[in-house]
Structure formats: C-alpha cells, structure tokens
Chain A
Amino acid sequence: MSSLSISRIKTESRFVQWVLIGVALLYLFLLLFLPIILILVSALKKGFPMYVQALQDPETWVAIKLSLFVAVVAVPLNVIFGLFAAWAITKYSFRGKSLLLALIDLPLSVSPVISGMIFVLLFGANGFLGEFLAAHGIRVIFAVPGIILATVFVTFPYVAREVIPVMKAQGKDEEEAAMTLGANGFQIFTKVTLPNIKWGLFYGVILCNARALGEFGAVSVVSGHIRGVTTTLPLHVEILYNEYAFAAAFSVASLFIGLALFTLLLKHIVGFRLKREGLK
C-alpha cells in the first residue's frame, strides 16, 4: 500500500503519461521521422539492387574515405581542446569567463557561408596569406587541409559544450582530495576526472563526429568541388541530386542514418564493457 502511494507521487497518472508521450511522438514524427522515412523510401524507389549499386560507386567510396579522414583529424583536435577548455572553465574562477564561453559557442551561430568565406579570405589566392602560401607551393583552400580547417571550425564547440556541464556538476572535491594525497596533475586527470566525465565526453565525440561528417555549407565553399578529389560525402550527395540521380542521392544520404544506428551499437558495447569492468 505504502509503496504504491510513493510511486503515485513520484510519477504522473497513466493518462498524463500517455498524453505527454503522444505529444512528444507527434512532434518527433512530423519533424524527424517523416524526413527519415522519406529519405529511405526515396533511396529504395528504384529497388534494392540500385541502392547497393549507388553505394558501391567508386566516387561514393572516395567521398566516404575523404569524409572519414577529415573527421579522424578534426575530432581529436576538438577533443583535446574541449578537455582543456572544460578544465580551465570548471575548475577555476577567473574574469571574462562568460565571454570565453560565448566565444566557444560562437562558431555554432556563424553561418556556414561565413565560416567558409573567412578561410578563403585568410588562405585564398587573394587572401591574407595567399601570396605566402603560393610562394611556398602550399595548397590550403580547394584541397583537403581547407576542408579540415572548415570542419574543425564548425565542430569546434561540441566537445567543450558537452563536457563542461558534466565536469561542473561533478565539482572539484575529488580532484582536490587526490591532490592532497600526492597525485600529480596528469594522474588526477586520468584517474579521477576522466572516469567521471566519460559519458559527457562520449556524447561530445559522437556529436562532433556526426557534425564533422555531415557538414555541408562551409565545406562546400572551400572544397572546389573537384570530383573524386575534394568531394566529401555531403557534397557527393549534392552532386548526385543535381544529376537527377535522386534515388542514388538519397541512398548515399541514408548512410548518415546508418551512422546514427551504428552509434547506438557503439554505445551499447561501450556501456556493456564498462559495466563488466565495474563488476570486477
């Protein structure tokens, strides 16, 4: 009897629950599931063999490889930054912290058109460093380094943004205790801080990686669209779409949905491992 009344006060009535679930699902259905369904339906419009064929196209593979390479470089850079920034922001108080936080968020609100343009202004042939780069034969814009730079810029806030709240919530007592026990900074970070923030970090990496693979606007400005050389996966989708290969375009786009499902799998595996370690 008493356990029932406690569960009653801790949650809502069945009716309220289902209304809320209904509202949430309707919202997600209209905005999220329908576009996903549309992409899958359009991808399979010409049958499954065509779907497989679109994914086996050599140009698709070049695009996949390039996108993965860009993410592999860009994400670790932002992870290192995110950890340093979170440490500085959550463990100490200093002036101008709000400004620093706002600056970290800034790339989120910068239009992709602008994020591409600034790198052209900086590294383009008529840009700030253009003559220097040309004289030394270094190609940044319209080549892979430019794509990486634009991607790093666009995905800049994600890891820091995810890690900061978790690190903040966790406080600094544990670290200070470890400190008084004689641990050095590196030990404190790897043995105390990192286990506590691992999920925040994990989410940050996933979001950062997703955005890095999916960025279109900024990359489009700096890529030069050279087929099979500087076309990332999103640019490849655009090319296919512009060639009226709608089914193929959506087939490649569906890879991004696959990516999300792959992330789920990854999360489960990681979660399982961690749980087993905990049991030991």
Chain B
Amino acid sequence: MFKNLGLVAAIVFFGASLSYGQSTILNVTYDPTREFYKDYNKAFQGHWKKTSGQTIQIRQSHGGSGKQGRSIVDGLEADVATLALGYDIDALYDQARLIPQNWQKRLPNNSSPYTSTIVFVVRKGNPKHIRDWDDLVKPGIAVITPNPKTSGGARWNYLAAWGYALKKWKSEAKAKDFVKALYKNVPVLDSGARGSTTSFAERKLGDVLVAWENEAYLMINELGPDKYEIVVPSISILAEPPVTVVDKNVDKHNTRKVSEAYLSYLYSKEGQELAVKHYFRPQDKQIAAKYSAKFRPVKLFKIESLFGGWQKAQKTHFSDNGVFDQIYAK
C-alpha cells in the first residue's frame, strides 16, 4: 500500500510541476490554425519582449473546435480560446460562465480578427466541370465534406450550401431539398475537417472537397499544387472564427494583460500580415487592399443575416432531430 502512496505522491508532484507559472499562456484553438499560430506565437513573443521586457511562453492545444470548447468547459485552463465558430465560445458562457455573455462585443469585428469562406477543391483540370454550388448536387458527383454533427468546419460548409439555395429560391423547403440532394452525393462523413482533406487527397475519394479557403490553400501547398485547384463559388458564407480571453482562467493565472495583448496583436499590421500569409482573409482594410489579388472576390453573406446567429442555426439544423438529422432520417 505504501508503494502505491509513493506513486500517487510522484504523480501529484509530476502533475504539479507541469502547472504553468505567470510567464506562460495556453491558447486552445482548432485544427486549421496550427501553422498560423506557430508563426504568430513567435512574432508575438518578440513583440511582447520589446514592449514589456517579459519573456512569454505560449502553449498550443489543437483539436476539433467543439471538442476544444468542451475541454475548456470541463476544466482545460485556456487563457485564450480561438475557435472555429461563435457557438463553441458561447458555450463557455452558457455551460460554465467562464466569460461574460457579451464576449463577442469586446473586440472589433465580432471578435474575429481574420475571416475565411467556404470554397471547393477539385482535381487538376477540373475534370467534372464544377463551377458553382449547383454542380455539387448533380448525379454522379461525389462530394467530400465532414460530419456537421462532429465538426465545426462542416457546419460552415452546410450553412454555405443552405444559404446559396435560400438566396436562389427564397424558400426554406427548396433549400432543404437542395442540401438533401447535396448530402446524397457525400460518400463519407469524416469526423473532422482534416479527416476529409486526407480522404480527398490521400485516398483519392470524391470529385470535390468543400473546405475552408485557408485549409484549401494550405492543402494545395502541402500536398501538391500540380494536383488540385480551387474553385470559388458565386456566393458563399463569411466564416468568422472568433477569439476571446477566458476571464476566469486569466484572473486565476494572473495573465489577463498578456492574454489581451496576445489577442489585440492579432489585429495589428503584423498579425494581419501573418494571417494573410496563412490564407486567412484580413480585417484590416489596408492589408486587404494590398493583397486583393490573393483572395478571389466572392459575394459573402453573414450567418446573422440568414440564420439569426449561431445559437439559432445550431438549434434548427444540428441538434438531435434537427434539419440535418431529418435529411438522413428514413
């Protein structure tokens, strides 16, 4: 028994030694931001050293957006949360009161320092002639998109398709038919966005991958510019991945100042340049103008205007027995 006690003591000690001191913050974020935050953390460390003289260590945690949000609610002590959609950050208030209800008003642009949109990736030469959303529901086209029930990115894909149909036919029923037809063409529902990308690229499944714009560019750069090309649809959704300081944790860790600086630096010229480098669309007007050639123009609609915000969209479309379930119901 004493042997066990010794072990327990060792575990506790080991666990305690991993707790972070004041000079460390934890950024809990989602999958497609890995490369961006790797660069950004370096830049911020330099910036913080220069402005405050302190050395700051930044730890990263990546995973599916929903799972990451849930981990924070369950006690993962994130100082900042930078997730894929507002709904996952809303949960930090709804489920655990870790942040105030009006968190999204605290930073400019709905607390989204960078945006993205949903585009298509097709195989080189576009053999199936996919130009717009209508082409995705044609018979014989296989569409790769992850499962909206488990992936945040997949929800943007779904809502983009729905929004297109709604704008075109001005009818909810028609939109539902359209989305239903689209998912009929989906052979595999991966549990996360990166899973879909590998299904499309590594396993050569499907004719078209529906993906975040930044993921699409990253994938092409990493896996072969000679193999894929990007198709931008006529209209798509404005994806706003929001960021917030997790108040309860920064107050506990005494890291509020540096955490807030970490987020506001995202809006600076340097932060915006880095975002552009990783194919996120910048919020800064000047930077946007400078790189207008990099991002192809596309008509964008907001989730607030068509769906009344994430809370409502989630409830109507993705909850149990919601519209997405109805599409698959027998």
For the complex, what is the distance from the CA of A126 to the CA of B248, rounded to whole Å?
A: 14
Determine whether B7 belongs to the interface, using a CB cutoff of 8 Å to chain A: yes
Determine whether B304 belongs to the interface, using a CB cutoff of 8 Å to chain A: no
A226 touches B14 (CB 8 A): no
Closest to A125 in B: B75
CB-defined contacts of A239 to chain B, threshold 8 Å: 62
Determine whether A138 belongs to the interface, using a CB cutoff of 8 Å to chain B: yes
A77 touches B7 (CB 8 A): yes
Closest to A149 in B: B11
A244 touches B223 (CB 8 A): yes
A142 touches B75 (CB 8 A): yes
B34 touches A144 (CB 8 A): no
CB-defined contacts of A77 to chain B, threshold 8 Å: 4, 7
Closest to B19 in A: A139
For the complex, what is the distance from the CA of A98 to the CA of B12, rounded to whole Å?
A: 36
Which residue of the partner chain, among A73, A127, A144, contacts B18 with CB atoms under 8 Å? A144
- Residue among B10, B14, B61, B75 with the highest chain A CB neighbour number at 10 A: B75
Majority DSSP secondary structure for residues of B touching A: helix
Closest to B195 in A: A242
CB-defined contacts of A143 to chain B, threshold 8 Å: 15, 18-19
CB-defined contacts of B202 to chain A, threshold 8 Å: 246
Q: A224 and B14 in contact (CB under 8 A), knowing A120-B74, A125-B96, A142-B77?
A: no
A227 touches B61 (CB 8 A): yes
Determine whether B222 belongs to the interface, using a CB cutoff of 8 Å to chain A: yes
Determine whether A167 belongs to the interface, using a CB cutoff of 8 Å to chain B: no
CB-defined contacts of B12 to chain A, threshold 8 Å: 138, 145
Which residue of the partner chain, among B3, B14, B62, B74, contacts A141 with CB atoms under 8 Å? B74
Closest to A133 in B: B75
For the complex, what is the distance from the CA of A182 to the CA of B147, rounded to whole Å?
A: 67
CB-defined contacts of A76 to chain B, threshold 8 Å: 7
Determine whether B63 belongs to the interface, using a CB cutoff of 8 Å to chain A: yes
Q: A126 and B14 in contact (CB under 8 A), knowing A120-B74, A225-B61, A225-B62?
A: no
For the complex, what is the distance from the CA of A130 to the CA of B76, rounded to whole Å?
A: 12
B18 touches A125 (CB 8 A): no
> Chain B contact residues (Cβ within 8 angstroms of A): what range?
35 or more
Least CB distance from B150 to A in Å reads 11
A144 touches B59 (CB 8 A): no
CB-defined contacts of B14 to chain A, threshold 8 Å: 69, 144
CB-defined contacts of B326 to chain A, threshold 8 Å: none
Which residue of the partner chain, among B4, B10, B26, contacts A226 with CB atoms under 8 Å? B26
For the complex, what is the distance from the CA of A123 to the CA of B71, rounded to whole Å?
A: 12
Q: A127 and B74 in contact (CB under 8 A), knowing A77-B7, A143-B18?
A: yes
A224 touches B11 (CB 8 A): no
B70-99 CB mask vs A (1 if < 8 Å, else 0) is 010111110000000000000000011000
B59 touches A229 (CB 8 A): yes
For the complex, what is the distance from the CA of A124 to the CA of B14, rounded to whole Å?
A: 19
B75 touches A144 (CB 8 A): no
Q: A224 and B61 in contact (CB under 8 A), knowing A73-B7, A120-B74, A143-B15?
A: yes
Closest to A124 in B: B74
For the complex, what is the distance from the CA of A24 to the CA of B164, rounded to whole Å?
A: 55
For residues 121 through 138 of chain A, which have their beta carbon under 8 Å from a beta carbon of chain B? 123-127, 130, 134, 138
For the complex, what is the distance from the CA of A139 to the CA of B252, rounded to whole Å?
A: 14
B18-60 CB mask vs A (1 if < 8 Å, else 0) is 1100000010100100110000000000000000000000011
A145 touches B61 (CB 8 A): no
A130 touches B34 (CB 8 A): no
Q: A142 and B71 in contact (CB under 8 A), knowing A69-B14, A126-B96, A225-B63?
A: yes
For the complex, what is the distance from the CA of A57 to the CA of B14, rounded to whole Å?
A: 23
Least CB distance from B50 to A in Å reads 25
Determine whether A228 belongs to the interface, using a CB cutoff of 8 Å to chain B: yes
- Residue among B35, B61, B68 with the highest chain A CB neighbour number at 10 A: B61
For the complex, what is the distance from the CA of A148 to the CA of B35, rounded to whole Å?
A: 30
CB-defined contacts of A126 to chain B, threshold 8 Å: 73-75, 95-96
Determine whether A12 belongs to the interface, using a CB cutoff of 8 Å to chain B: no
25 contacts between A and B (CB under 8 A): A69-B14, A73-B11, A77-B4, A124-B75, A125-B73, A125-B74, A125-B96, A126-B73, A126-B75, A130-B75, A139-B15, A139-B77, A140-B15, A142-B74, A142-B77, A144-B14, A144-B15, A145-B12, A148-B11, A225-B61, A225-B71, A227-B59, A227-B62, A242-B34, A246-B202
A positions within 8 Å CB-CB of B: 69, 73, 76-77, 80, 120, 123-127, 130, 134, 138-145, 148, 224-230, 239, 241-244, 246
Known contacts A124-B75, A142-B77; 20 additional CB pairs below 8 A are A69-B14, A77-B4, A80-B4, A125-B75, A125-B96, A126-B74, A127-B74, A139-B75, A141-B76, A142-B76, A143-B18, A144-B11, A144-B15, A144-B18, A145-B12, A145-B15, A225-B68, A242-B62, A243-B34, A246-B202
Closest 7 CB pairs of A and B: A125-B75, A124-B74, A244-B222, A224-B76, A142-B76, A225-B61, A242-B194
